[in-house]
A and B are shown apart, each in its own frame.
Chain A
Amino acid sequence: MAKGGFLGSLRESQAWKSIFRHGPPNNTRNRVLVVLMNVFLHLHPIRMKKSGVRMSFTWCMGGITFFLFLVETVTGVLLMFYYRPTADYAYADIIALREHVPIGVMREVHRWGAHAMVISVWLHMFRVFLTGSYKPPREFNWGVGVILLVLTLLLSFTGYLLPWDQLAIWAITVGSNMARATPFLGNEGPGASLINMLMGFDVVHAGSDARFALLAGRLVGEATLLRFYVLHCIFIPLAASVLMAIHFWRVRKDGGISGPL
C-alpha cells in the first residue's frame, strides 16, 4: 500500500487526480489553488481580512440570506412534486401537503424560510449601509444587491398567491392594483391618458396595461395562478441565481468584504 494508507492511495488514484489537479492544501500555493480551481469557490476571495469573518461586523446576513435561498430552492422543488397550479387542485394540494403527505410540513419550512429571507435580506442591506460598503469601488455591487432585494420581494409576492385561498386571492388583487399606476403602462398611471390622447383611441386600458400582463386578465383568476407559478418557480429564481453569482464574484473583485473604517 502507498504511503499514507487508504487516503494516501486514494490521493494517488487517477480518479482523484482528474478531479483535484493540485496537491493537498498544506502550503500557501495549494490553498490558493483550492479556491481558484473550484467553480463555486472561485466566486469568493482567496483570502480575507480578519474583520470579514467577525460576526459583529457582517452579522453574516448575506450568508444567511444565501443559505435561506438554498433552503427555499430545495423545499420548493420538493413541494413541486405535489402542487398543481390550477383552480381545481391548488388549494386541495396545499391541504393534502398538510394532512397526508409524509413530511409535507416542508411547506411550513418553505413559508417560514421565505419570511426569514425577506427579513435577512433587509438586515443585510442595513448592515451594508451602516458599514458604508456601498461606497466606491462597490457601487455596482450595491446596484446588483438592490435588484436582488426586489427579486426577493417578488418571489415572496408571487409565492403568496399559490395556496389559492381567500387571503391569497385578495392580497394579490390588492397588491397588483399598484400596477395600474405604472407610468405610461398602467391605465391609471401618469402618461397613460397622454398616450391615449395622442393615438386618438384607448391604447392603454384595463385590458391592455401592465396589470393585465401580470394577471393575464382584468381579475385574479386561474390564468394568474399559472403565470405566478411559472414566475415563482422558474423565472425569478433563475434571474436571482445569475445575479447572486455576479454579486458574490464582485465582492471578490471589489477587494473582498469591506474593512472597518
Chain B
Amino acid sequence: MPAPSFPEAPEGISRRVFLSWLTVGWAGFIGALGAGLTAVGRLFFPNITFEPPQQFKAGFPTEYAVNKVDERFKKKYGVWMVRNERGIYVLSTVCTHLGCTPNWLEAEAKFKCPCHGSGYYATGINFEGPAPRPLERFKISLSPDGQIMVDKTQKYQYEKGQWSDPNAFLEIA
C-alpha cells in the first residue's frame, strides 16, 4: 500500500505572503467599517436645526422698564430680560433642578417652577425648593446699531463667580 501523499502547496503564493495580504485585507475591512459607522454616527447631528438662533438682537435698552422682569423672549428664546437700576441682565428660563421652565410671579416677585416648586428671586438666586444653584445668565452686549445683543452660547454661573464678568451684565449709564 503506497504511503498517502500530501499535495504540495500551490506555487506562486507562500504562507507568509498570504498572511500579510490577509492582514491588509482585514485592516482595510475594519478601517472601512469604522469610517462607515462614523459617517452613520454623524447622521444624528443635523447641520440645521429648526430652533431659534442662539444669538439674537433684543431691541434697544430704552425699551425695558426699570425693576421689571421682561417676558417677551421667554417663549421664543428661553430667556428673561431683567432691568434693574444699574442695567440689564439675561436669565435662562431653565430651572437648575431638572430643567423645567419656571413662571415669573409678579405679585410675589419670584420665579416659581411648576414641576417641583423651586423658587428664585428676580436676580436668579434660588431661595426655596430643590434647586441646587441659581439660574444661569447669558452674555449680553450692545451691537453697533445700539440694540442689545444676547448670546446664549456663553453662559455665566453665579456659583462659579462668573456674574461679575463684564459680559454678564449690560451697564446703562
Binding site for B on A (CB under 8 A): 170, 173-174, 177, 202, 205-208, 212-213, 216-219, 221-223
Contact = CB atoms under 8 A, between A and B. Distances in A.
21 contacts: A170-B115, A173-B99, A174-B100, A177-B99, A202-B153, A205-B153, A206-B153, A207-B153, A208-B45, A212-B45, A213-B44, A216-B44, A216-B49, A217-B49, A217-B50, A217-B51, A218-B51, A221-B51, A222-B50, A223-B46, A223-B49
A219 B51 contact: yes
Given A170-B115, A205-B153, A208-B45, A223 B50 contact: yes
A212 B153 CA distance: 14
B99 A218 contact: no
B160 to A, nearest CB: 12
B98 interface: yes
Say what secondary structure dominates the interface of chain A.
loop
Contact of B99 (A174, A208, A217): A174
Most A CB within 10 A of own CB, among B44, B49, B153: B49
Interface of B: 44-46, 49-51, 54, 78, 98-100, 115, 153
Contacts of A174: 98-100, 115
Contacts of A219: 51, 78
Nearest to B116: A174
Contacts of B153: 202, 205-207
B129 to A, nearest CB: 14
Contacts of A202: 153
Question: Which 5 residue pairs across A and B have the least CB separation, nearest first?
Answer: A174-B98, A213-B44, A177-B99, A217-B49, A173-B99
Nearest to A173: B99
Contacts of B98: 174, 177
A7 B128 CA distance: 77
Contacts of A170: 100, 115
A174 B54 CA distance: 21
A217 B45 CA distance: 8
A205 B155 CA distance: 11
A177 to B, nearest CB: 4
Contacts of B54: 207
A82 to B, nearest CB: 26
A107 B81 CA distance: 43
A223 B153 CA distance: 21
A225 to B, nearest CB: 13
B170 to A, nearest CB: 23
Nearest to B43: A213
A98 to B, nearest CB: 26
Contacts of B99: 173-174, 177
A189 to B, nearest CB: 15
Nearest to A205: B153
B130 to A, nearest CB: 12
A34 B46 CA distance: 52
A202 B151 CA distance: 15
Most A CB within 10 A of own CB, among B45, B46, B99: B99
Contacts of B115: 170, 174
Contact of B100 (A173, A221, A223): A173
Contacts of B100: 170, 173-174
A233 to B, nearest CB: 17
Contacts of B51: 217-219, 221
A140 to B, nearest CB: 25
B45 A221 contact: no
Nearest to B44: A213
Contacts of A177: 98-99
